[in-house]
Structure 1
Amino acid sequence: MPDSDDVNPPEHARVEPSERLDLVGVGEWKRVSPKYVLVEIVGTILFGVVVCGGASVLWLLLEQTWALWVGLAVLLMTIINLVFEPRRVRSIGYLLREDDLLFRRGILFQRFVAVPYGRMQLIDITRGPVARWLGLADLKFVTAAATAGVSIPGLAEADAESLRDRLVELAEIRRAGL
């Protein structure tokens, strides 16, 4: 049977929900490149064209009426995504704090992830064809918890490389101190 101390931690050890992740006054958030909007728009359009094209083929050649409705629904969702794409890209940001990297993204469903420097095991730079053409790269982190991987998309290549080097340095310092 657990101690009552295990079930109810002492008052000084309790953390109020508002104190868990103080995002007010923590520093200046760095945003991804505005050119990243073009990468997202191209990806959205390509997805819409492929799915709508496939639905059109099914509808026209095989006379599958349901494919027409699927194609129209995908077309509508593609248009809605294109409208919100610039705002969604502006919501992506990161912040280097003393002990961790804080990452945020999302408009309606916001996601905040704090990645401790000492938990970073691999920091990788990836470049897709459109991003490479625009001089952009994605910085991906693999942490000790495999499900907590974080990716910062749309960084200028030079920024991604310098941030990678800085994070590797910070991770080595933190791991040496463990």
Structure 2
Amino acid sequence: MDDLFAPSDVSWTPVSPKLAAVRRVSAAIMFGVLAVAGLLLLGMLLDWLYGVLAVVLVLLAYLWAWVLIGRNQRSWKYAEREDELLVSHGIMFRQLVVVPYGRMQFVDVAAGPLERSFGIATVELHTATPATDAKIPGLHPDEASRLRDRLSALGQAQAWGL
């Protein structure tokens, strides 16, 4: 079954571990806002003990998210073949996207403020069919630039043959 989502005839490249750090910081911000809101709302409406209980529950949820974020980051990988790009990710719900170079319409590189501060970027491939679009988060900016240029060149070269 593993060969279905990760063919062994290719050399897989993992994404940066900094992706987990970015996602953990983002989750900390979200869970922090949720904890403060729970503390204030429940504390003012019911009792401060319920507010503290809400904070403890949010903290436990964040700790669980911390573990899941790390596992998810380690599941992301990509491989370049002669005619296509493979992107695989997921632990519980695994996914393998195979994008033929000739079907690519354009390649995006994006980096939000948190990603830029951690030194990573995301490469996104767009095709005519949204189901075959692929995204590779957590790439070093140099690798994202190299991949963007390579995929654009291969896409243009192979599109001429259609």
Whether TM exceeds 0.5 here: the answer is: yes
TM-align CA RMSD:
2.4
Tell me the SS of whatever aligns to 1:33: coil
Query: Which position in structure 2 is the counterpart of 1:175?
Result: 159
Aligned-pair distance for 1:163? 0.2
Query: Does the aligned pair in 1 maintain the 2:98–2:132 contact within 8 Å?
Result: no
TM-score by length of 2: 0.86
Question: Which stretch of structure 1 is more off in the superposition, 154-163 or 79-88?
Answer: 79-88
* Counterpart Cα distance in 1 of 2:47 and 2:149: 54
Structure 1 residues 109 and 62: CA distance shift in structure 2, 3 A? same
Unaligned runs of 5+ in 1: 1-17
Structure 1 residues 59 and 154: CA distance shift in structure 2, 3 A? same
The yes-or-no answer on 1:102 pairing with 2:95 is no
Query: Does the aligned pair in 1 maintain the 2:109–2:121 contact within 8 Å?
Result: yes
What number of residue pairs does the alignment pair up?
159
Q: Which has the higher contact order (CA 8 A, sep 6+)?
A: 2
* Counterpart Cα distance in 1 of 2:112 and 2:5: 34
Query: Which position in structure 2 is the counterpart of 1:63?
Result: 46
Aligned AA (1:44): A
Aligned-pair distance for 1:63? 2.9
Structure 1 residues 70 and 114: CA distance shift in structure 2, 3 A? farther
* Counterpart Cα distance in 1 of 2:149 and 2:47: 54
Unaligned runs of 5+ in 2: none
The yes-or-no answer on 1:130 pairing with 2:138 is no
* Counterpart Cα distance in 1 of 2:124 and 2:13: 16
Structure 1 residues 120 and 73: CA distance shift in structure 2, 3 A? farther
The yes-or-no answer on 1:45 pairing with 2:67 is no
Tell me the SS of whatever aligns to 1:78: helix
Structure of higher CA gyration radius:
1
Identity %: 35
Q: 2:132 aligns with which of 144, 148, 155?
A: 148
* Counterpart Cα distance in 2 of 1:142 and 1:115: 9
Tell me the SS of whatever aligns to 2:29: helix
Aligned-pair distance for 1:49? 0.8
* Counterpart Cα distance in 2 of 1:54 and 1:177: 57
Aligned AA (2:113): P
Aligned-pair distance for 1:23? 3.7
Aligned AA (1:101): L
